Structure 1
Amino acid sequence: MNKRLLLTIVIVLLVLVGIVVWKSSASSAAIQQSQTMPFSDDSTTHSTDGTMQNKTTDELCQESLLRQLQVLQKQPGNITQFLNDFKANCHVQDCNAALAKALANYPDQEFAHLVENLLKRMPQYEQHMQSTVLSTSLSPQERFNALWKLREQTLGKAEAMLGFGQERNYANYKFAYAEIKQNRNLNAEQRLKAFEELQRRYPDATQQQSKIGLYEQSIELLNQNHNNPAETEHLKQILQQRYLTEQERQDIQRRDQREIQQQQQVNQYQQALQQLQQDMQPLKNQLSEAEWQQQYQQRLETLRSSMFP
């Protein structure tokens, strides 16, 4: 009985030890799994965040391109500005693919195809421009018209206007202004009225210039006619009221006054110089050439010092 009891006790102990060892192994495995799981979850989270971030960047890029295309459609004629904005605001890896996608999804596909044609033909146009040499005997208007013809031939008429229409508009404004300036059949008031009409015909070109710039152009036209001083001053006052602020009028008046004083000083100097030359002329027969030159230079330096201290 004692042997059988002892054997039973030994078997029970072995079973208990086995259970303890099994539980210990299971617990250790669970701990190891719990320690490794957060790293796996974190990696998955980072991967998901990265995908979402890339998607967000693409969407933002498409939204930006949509706005830029809308601006180009509403205000066509400056493809250079569009391309500069596009490059500055594109933050994806393949900007050309992003632009192609934006054009493919643009609501107005007729306009989108026009943009595509323009961009596709731009390299060929730039190559032609680099190899084009125009005669210096051509007038500015003739040179511009020749370049515009090249644009239409290379890009297409509609594409040329889409890409460079603002330049065309401003050039037409400048050429028309030159015609007003050179027209000898116009008096001062007629020139100024023609200039007002020109501004109404080309509002976009007019808006590109400051009010002071428009005032200076008006004064340039006014100076083409030889008016009496009173009439000129009266017209200047009208132009200043039309184009300038009070502070600008004061600045212009001070500047004009300085210019008048400087011109008077120059006139006085020229008169004094002429008188000096007349006074020195008789001395040529009395002095040697070296003595005459010495006296002339001394008196000339004295005159300059007194006139321009």
Structure 2
Amino acid sequence: MNKRLLLTIVIVLVVLVAIVVWKSTASSAAIQHTKSTSSQDSSTPMSDDNMPHKNKDEIFQDALLKQLKKLQQQPGNITQFLNDFKANCPVSDCNAALAKALANYPDQKFAQLVANLLKRLPQYEQRMQSTVLSTALSPKERFDALWKLREQTLGQAETMLGFGQERQYADYRFAYNDLAQNQKLSAEQRLKAFEELQKQYPAETQQQSKIGQYEQALNLIQQGQQNAAETERLKQKLQQQYLTEQERQEVQQRERREAQQQQQVDQYQKALQQLQQEMEPLKAQLSETEWQKQYQSHLENLRLKMFP
């Protein structure tokens, strides 16, 4: 082998070794960069770095402010507010958390009203436990007496804030009962007055289903003295007014079943009265034991016949 060939081989080997070393170095650098990047990504939290991290107390404060806002927008049920508050309180001192929320509430006039109500509730509950109302009072008189007790203990504004929804519902029910008992009005006049009552108490009306409203209206026409044909005409009118087609069919089927059951009961009562009349003369002919035996036997047969 001549020297020129040997020199060429040496140069080629040197070049190949340099290429291998360069690739190995580049690959190691790339791997190191990838690991470094991955490490940095794994240590970075998923949430936005600019977003503040709130603790449990702060989150609960936000929730309380929302609850107070809802109470201000829809007042009248302090019991529901307190139940929700106690059920969802995650902190050790719930009362202190509520006091803090009230101190930070934007409308301080409303917040003070809530604070007054909460402060006076224990005294009101004690007075309620020791209060006895006469059974001679009507339901309306008893409710009015309890309402007066609330106002004396809690304050008028505080009472409406805490129990206003109950007051509205009671007033609606009392007005409805007065309407149902008013025999001076015709069925048509009752229904007209019922529509006005619903407009006067929209919240109470919306809480009832359409079927519930239909049954209330139906009760009003059944209190009147109109004939059966007029009652049926008004009933059909009410069904068209309050019920869907499916609900009308269900109501009509139920009323047919109830009518059949009532007819069956009436027939049984009539047959029972006839049996008693037939058995009465036999008391003079039979001993008490024998009479009771025969009567019970006839009665059992009658029941099996009427209600198989």
Q: Indicate yes or no: 2:250 matched with 1:246.
A: no
1:18-64, Cα deviation, whole Å (9 max, x unpaired)? xxxxxxxxxxxxxxxxxxxxxxxxxxxxxxxxxx9995222211111
Kindly report the root-mean-square deviation, in angstroms, between the aligned alpha carbons of the 2 structures.
Answer: 1.9
- CA gap 1:54/1:148 in 2 versus in 1, 3 angstroms: farther
Question: Quick check: 1:78–1:166 contact (8 Å CA) kept in 2?
Answer: yes
Q: Residues of 2 paired with 1:141 and 1:54: CA distance? A: 54
**1:110-259, aligned counterparts within 5 Å?**
110-259=109-258
Which residue number in structure 2 is paired with residue 4 of structure 1? none
Which residue number in structure 2 is paired with residue 101 of structure 1? 100
Q: Indicate yes or no: 2:265 matched with 1:295.
A: no
Provide TM-score, normalisation by structure 2: 0.78
Which residue number in structure 2 is paired with residue 280 of structure 1? 279
Q: Residues of 2 paired with 1:101 and 1:295: CA distance? A: 80
Q: Cα offset for 1:72?
A: 0.6
**1:64-75, aligned counterparts within 5 Å?**
64-75=63-74
Which residue number in structure 1 is paired with residue 303 of structure 2? 304
Bigger fraction of residues in helix: 1
Question: Quick check: 1:64–1:89 contact (8 Å CA) kept in 2?
Answer: no
Question: Quick check: 1:106–1:112 contact (8 Å CA) kept in 2?
Answer: yes
Question: Quick check: 1:124–1:154 contact (8 Å CA) kept in 2?
Answer: yes
1:228-266, Cα deviation, whole Å (9 max, x unpaired)? 222111111121222222222222111111111111111
Q: What fraction of aligned residue pairs are identical, expressed as a percent?
A: 73
- CA gap 1:81/1:301 in 2 versus in 1, 3 angstroms: same
Q: Residues of 1 paired with 2:88 and 2:299: CA distance? A: 65
Q: Residues of 2 paired with 1:93 and 1:55: CA distance? A: 17
Q: Cα offset for 1:88?
A: 2.5
Q: Residues of 2 paired with 1:111 and 1:60: CA distance? A: 22
Amino acid at match of 2:108: Q
Provide TM-score, normalisation by structure 1: 0.78
Amino acid at match of 2:162: G
Which residue number in structure 2 is paired with residue 45 of structure 1? none
Q: Residues of 2 paired with 1:113 and 1:233: CA distance? A: 56
Q: Cα offset for 1:295?
A: 3.0
Which residue number in structure 2 is paired with residue 15 of structure 1? none
Which residue number in structure 1 is paired with residue 267 of structure 2? 268
Which residue number in structure 1 is paired with residue 88 of structure 2? 89
* Deviation larger for 89-98 or 160-169: 89-98
Q: Residues of 2 paired with 1:86 and 1:199: CA distance? A: 32
Q: Cα offset for 1:208?
A: 1.9
* Deviation larger for 181-190 or 275-284: 275-284
* Deviation larger for 263-272 or 151-160: 263-272
- CA gap 1:109/1:269 in 2 versus in 1, 3 angstroms: same
Structure 1 unaligned residues grouped into runs of 5+: 1-51
- CA gap 1:308/1:176 in 2 versus in 1, 3 angstroms: same
Q: Residues of 2 paired with 1:90 and 1:123: CA distance? A: 20
Q: Cα offset for 1:274?
A: 2.5
Q: Residues of 2 paired with 1:198 and 1:283: CA distance? A: 60
Structure 2 unaligned residues grouped into runs of 5+: 1-50
- CA gap 1:283/1:86 in 2 versus in 1, 3 angstroms: closer
Question: Quick check: 1:219–1:236 contact (8 Å CA) kept in 2?
Answer: yes
Which residue number in structure 2 is paired with residue 24 of structure 1? none
Q: Residues of 1 paired with 2:53 and 2:214: CA distance? A: 53
Q: Residues of 2 paired with 1:203 and 1:99: CA distance? A: 32
Q: Cα offset for 1:273?
A: 2.1
Q: Secondary structure at the match of 1:133?
A: coil
Q: Cα offset for 1:271?
A: 2.0
Amino acid at match of 1:96: N
Which residue number in structure 2 is paired with residue 9 of structure 1? none
* Deviation larger for 148-157 or 233-242: 233-242
Q: Secondary structure at the match of 1:77?
A: coil
